Amino acid sequence: MKVIAVSHGSFSKGLVESVQMLVGQQEDLVAYGLYPEQTVQTLTEQLEEELKKTPEGEEVLFLTDLFHGSPFNAVVSLMRDYKFHHITGINLPIAITILLERSSTDSIEALCRKAEETAAETVLYVNKLFEEKEEEE
Amino acid sequence: MKVIAVSHGSFSKGLVESVQMLVGQQEDLVAYGLYPEQTVQTLTEQLEEELKKTPEGEEVLFLTDLFHGSPFNAVVSLMRDYKFHHITGINLPIAITILLERSSTDSIEALCRKAEETAAETVLYVNKLFEEKEEEE
């Protein structure tokens, strides 16, 4: 399974770098950014190239930064002609779960559904959490 | 209100860059990364310096990458001696909401609670979303 992170600017590149600091160097993990000097069309072409060079039968998961953002739209435009999975609003904990579980999961769809369903548990207001813990004690 | 993004590697730097591509250049928004050549102690000292130079009365919100990660722990260690807010598991949509609403919100605590409560809405499995939409039509 290939994972392709796509974002405005260097967010996806930073995500991939930080993920690899935590879980080690990863194969089949790449990042693309949409930069101010670049058009959405150019980004879309780069992503299509990446899809074309993926071996037949290898599944692909796109991770984008923002629902309805331009990188999101570029990926969605490719969903017509290519079959792949797509999660938007990615954060570091979800990216790590996906990379750690991608080789062992029975179904990429189940992994994506789980990522979505457990998203709320990955974003925490730490002060509130500590207050609740203090109240319990 | 000052926002300080902290992460493993360049994730926080990428987040800040990409946010600014979307909502324009921001004041009082900085990023710190923990890099392989650096200790957690050094990072903690840098963050403490940043807190010390924040004008008295200005509120501070830390955004970290990962619950129980080293950057998270560095920020938590400072919660003993300094008063600030802290959200972990940050993604781009939540960062944007915070930056757009930080000047108009009555309460930074309410903004942080809202960020946590609406987190699930920001992470979406796009294929599932489109399937549901098709079923509705």
| pLDDT tens for each residue of B19-47 | 999 999 999 999 999 999 999 999 999 99
* pLDDT tens track for A54-108: 999 999 999 999 999 999 999 999 999 999 999 999 999 999 999 999 999 989 9
Residues from chain A contacting residue B91 (CB–CB below 8 Å): 65, 89-91, 123
**For residue A136, pLDDT beyond 90:** no
pLDDT of residue B54: 96
* Interfacial A residues in 93-122 facing B (CB < 8 Å): 93-94, 96, 109, 112-113, 115-116, 119-120, 122
> Is it the case that residue A134 has pLDDT exceeding 90?
no
Cβ pair A125:B15 closer than 8 A = no
Per-residue DSSP letter, A76: H
Q: Would the pLDDT of B134 be above 90?
A: no
pLDDT over 90 at B86, yes or no: yes
Token pair listed for B15: 């987040």
The answer to whether the CB atoms of B22 and A87 lie below 8 A apart is no
Backbone angles phi, psi at B63, to 5 degrees: -120, 115
- Tell whether B24 is within 8 A of chain A (Cβ): no
Round the average pLDDT of chain B to a whole number and report it.
96
Whether the per-residue pLDDT at A137 is higher than 90: the answer is no
Closest CA to B92 of A35, A71, A77: A71
Residues from chain A contacting residue B10 (CB–CB below 8 Å): 10, 13-14, 17-18
Read off the pLDDT band of A31 (50, 70, 90). very high
Interface of B with A in 56-85 (CB under 8 A): 65-67, 69, 72, 75-76, 79, 85
Question: How far is B6 from A94, CA to CA, in rounded Å?
Answer: 17
CA dihedral A129, A134, B3, B7 (to 10 degrees): -60
> Does this model's pTM top 0.80?
yes
Q: What percent of chain B has pLDDT over 70?
A: 100
Confidence of residue B137 (pLDDT cuts 50, 70, 90): confident
Whether B127 and chain A come into contact, CB under 8 Å, resolves to yes
- What's the confidence (pLDDT) of residue A78? 98
Looking at chain B, which residue has its C-alpha nearest residue A85?
B127
pLDDT of res. A110: 96
Q: What is the pLDDT of residue B114?
A: 95
Three-state secondary structure call for residue B134: helix
pLDDT at B135: 87
